[in-house]
Amino acid sequence: MENKVNHLLFRFGNRIFKSYVLVILLLAIVQVVFAGSEKKPIYKNAEAPIEKRIDDLLKRMTIEEKVFQLNQIVLGENDNINNVDADGKIIDPKIGSLLYVGTDPVLRNAMQRKAVEETRLGIPILFGYDVIHGFNTIYPISLAQACSWNPDLVQQACSVAAKEARSSGVDWTFSPMVDVARDGRWGRVSEGYGEDTYTNSVFAVASVKGYQGDDLSNQNNIASCLKHYVGYSASEGGKDYVSTDISRQSLWDTYLPPFEAGINAGAVTVMSAFNTLNGIPASCNQYTLTDILIDKWKFDGFVVSDWNAVVQLIAQGVAADEKEATRMAFQAGVDLDMADELYQKYLPELIESGVVSEKQIDKSVRRILRVKFKLGLFDNPYVSEKNGEGRIVLPEVTSVIEKLTEESMVLLKNENHILPLKEPSTIALIGPMAKDDVNMMGSWAAHGNGNDVVNIYEGLTKEFSDSRILYAKGCNFDRNNTSKYAAAIETAKQADIVVLCLGEKWRWSGENGSRSTLSLPEIQENLLAEIKKVGKPIVLLLSNGRPLDLSRMESECDAIVEMWQPGILGGRAVAGILSGRVNPSGKLAITFPYSTGQIPIYYNKRPSSRPNQGKYQDIQDAPLYEFGYGLSYTTFEYGTLKTSNSKVKKGEEIIIEVPVTNTGNRESAETVHWFISDPVCSIARPQKELKYFEKQIIKAGETKVFRFKVDLEKDFGFVDAEGNKFLESGEYYVMVNSQRVKIEVLD
């Protein structure tokens, strides 16, 4: 009996034990699962939708943490008085963004690690920088890029810059600049894509796509920033930072479209400009920052102020003090305050006093967090430190950069086909730009390094290895020291041909680079005049960041090549053009005036009330070189312009085509510019408007057909002063070179 009882007790105890173990196991599993989910809030869940992650994070943030997100200060050391912290030791890691002027991913990651691992919520920092035309591998300035009329190449170059930047820890560039610029006295004309609205729109899209790629969280891509919003380039007299008066009509038909195009291409940030726009500074202009950008265009990225643009509202005469400047900028629509730290200082008390609501704060924080999530910074906050020294010039990119450099240069003159050079035995290479390694990179050359530059002397020496290259500096870029003239003249006497290398210092264009004249300094013009007396043929090479007044120089030269500020491969590209290895295909994206006095001069002006009047009486009316001008080593013959039909109803499309034959003896690329005109419209329109362009390589003797598929609303339509696009019936013309076809648009 006793055994039976023991047996029963054993079995019962065994069962209890097993159930106990089971319950413990289950609890442990629940604990792990629950703990796992409990430890990982939604905002840290990479699988959750971005908007849900933002909702969750916003709920958790304190006011202080939210305000920190709306500020950007400088990390690293640059030549600016606003440096805050060279090595990240004093910056509060709750900061929303840092303008990172370094190239070392280790420093950047160390700062990011503080934000992600040492703050309460671990919100990553967004690192921005001016990657304008390259990061380490510096390629031509934007104005030069536009002269290539090759948006695909520009897109590839921007993706190179993005890859180099991201690998150094920069997630966001303050680029592209898409300010339509028509006054060459303004230094920043070098940073945009010229005088035409459509051109700036096309290259805005190309650069946004190049920087951002298809997936911002891919660590080869960076966020882009459309700037300077808006109307900054209409600065009075070409001076920088001053007031601009732009009619609503011109705002809509000239200055806004490139920003709209960039936003439609997916640009995730916009930078508010320095200028006072029609009396209201662009950095506190409710109409542009909110009514247009947010309400009309539904922009869901964020707006960053330009450097100190918030505090500058005081100087611009609209804010009585810093607190008022803070309120005005923030409430108009500037989300992130760059450099002056006013948001950090005053938003808490503006919220406390109820002037600014937490709801308004949340709107801006949401926009900034959205970009951070899109960049993948929450899920992948660090960059690889494999290139710890922080400097890479991607070798595999040379072909892209070299091609863009070659295609951006413009052959302006080639008297008696002196170019390409025919095996010259001795070349006199003269001028301050001949051996220059710095100014050739232009302004905003990021981390470009002069040692990477192939200068003109190096380029020619390599290209013309069978020729003798004699060098003389001749003069400096400016001042009036003519002591080197004599040696230059002697050098010219010994040569078959003179290649004269002149131009601008990089600081003469770019920000705060306004000049009262487009002429080169007299010391350079006079050097040309002295060399001219020697009687040898002269090829003038120009490296500059703006259109120049060449009226006194043009006649003295047999050939002129506009190199612009070509970046690190400039010497190699221009040598290829001089030798004929490269067939120049660049065409001007900005008018070269006959003289500074002609400014403003641009191709798409509205007609004057007296067609043959409205001109200066003391100089020619035509510019020296017009928009779209550029020579080639071959010749092209345009066939007859044809349209699929000359009458078309709204909603229908027409195709217009023109055959182009390469009548020369060598292959070359030709760009066809398609213009439209609408001679009668309820709002007077420019005499011609570029609406499409296409570049094709055409072999010697070959004919290629260029086609323009006209989208009536987009290509014939116009916009009114309220931003309403419209298409009127009536007569239109499509023009190519000197031909035009009439198209009647019916109701």
Nearer to ligand GLC, 144 or 472 (CB): 144
Distance, CA of 199 to CA of 626 (rounded, Å): 15
* Closest distance of CB 185 from ligand GLC, Å: 17
Nearer to ligand GLC, 208 or 719 (CB): 208
| Residues 613-624: b if buried by 16+ CB within 10 A, e if exposed | eeeeeeeeeebb
Nearer to ligand GLC, 140 or 630 (CB): 140
Residue 549 known to be catalytic:
no
Q: Which residue has the tokens 């912290």?
A: 85
- Which position among 306, 436, 437, 558 bears the catalytic label? 306
How many residues make up the chain in this entry?
747
Q: Considering the rule CB under 6 A, would residue 511 count as an interface residue with ligand GLC?
A: yes
∠293-237-541 over CA atoms, to 5°? 100
* Closest distance of CB 340 from ligand GLC, Å: 11
Contacts 24+ apart (CB under 8 A), 451-454: 452/136, 452/137, 452/138, 452/393, 452/568, 453/567, 453/568, 453/570, 453/571, 454/568, 454/569, 454/570, 454/571, 454/572
Nearer to ligand GLC, 174 or 299 (CB): 174
* Closest distance of CB 490 from ligand GLC, Å: 45
* Closest distance of CB 231 from ligand GLC, Å: 14
Lookup: tokens for 323: 């607190």
State which of positions 147-176 bind ligand GLC (CB under 6 A).
174
Displacement of CA 404 from its chain's centroid (Å): 15
Using the Cα atoms of residue 443, residue 449, residue 452 and residue 454 in order, give the sign of their dihedral.
positive
Nearer to ligand GLC, 135 or 307 (CB): 307
For 101: left if phi > 0, alpha if psi spans -120 to 50, otherwise beta; the answer is alpha
Spatial contact of 111 and 91, defined as CB atoms under 8 Å apart = yes
Q: Per-residue x/- mask for ligand GLC, residues 210 to 249, rule CB under 6 A?
A: -----------------x----------------------
Using the Cα atoms of residue 321, residue 322, residue 327 and residue 332 in order, give the sign of their dihedral.
positive
Q: Considering the rule CB under 6 A, would residue 186 count as an interface residue with ligand GLC?
A: no
* Closest distance of CB 110 from ligand GLC, Å: 23
Q: Considering the rule CB under 6 A, would residue 306 count as an interface residue with ligand GLC?
A: yes
Nearer to ligand GLC, 310 or 690 (CB): 310
State which of positions 108-137 bind ligand GLC (CB under 6 A).
130
Q: Considering the rule CB under 6 A, would residue 100 count as an interface residue with ligand GLC?
A: no
Displacement of CA 626 from its chain's centroid (Å): 23
Q: Considering the rule CB under 6 A, would residue 337 count as an interface residue with ligand GLC?
A: no
Nearest residue to 690 via CA among 668, 714, 724, 666:
714
Spatial contact of 135 and 161, defined as CB atoms under 8 Å apart = yes
DSSP type of residue 155 = H
* Closest distance of CB 71 from ligand GLC, Å: 14
DSSP type of residue 617 = S
Nearer to ligand GLC, 196 or 511 (CB): 511
Distance, CA of 489 to CA of 494 (rounded, Å): 9
Other beta carbons less than 10 A from residue 419's beta carbon: 24
Using the Cα atoms of residue 263, residue 266, residue 270 and residue 275 in order, give the sign of their dihedral.
negative
* Closest distance of CB 175 from ligand GLC, Å: 8
Spatial contact of 164 and 136, defined as CB atoms under 8 Å apart = yes
Nearer to ligand GLC, 132 or 146 (CB): 132
* Closest distance of CB 156 from ligand GLC, Å: 23
Write out the residues near ligand GLC by the rule CB under 6 A. 130, 174, 227, 306-307, 511
Catalytic residues: 306
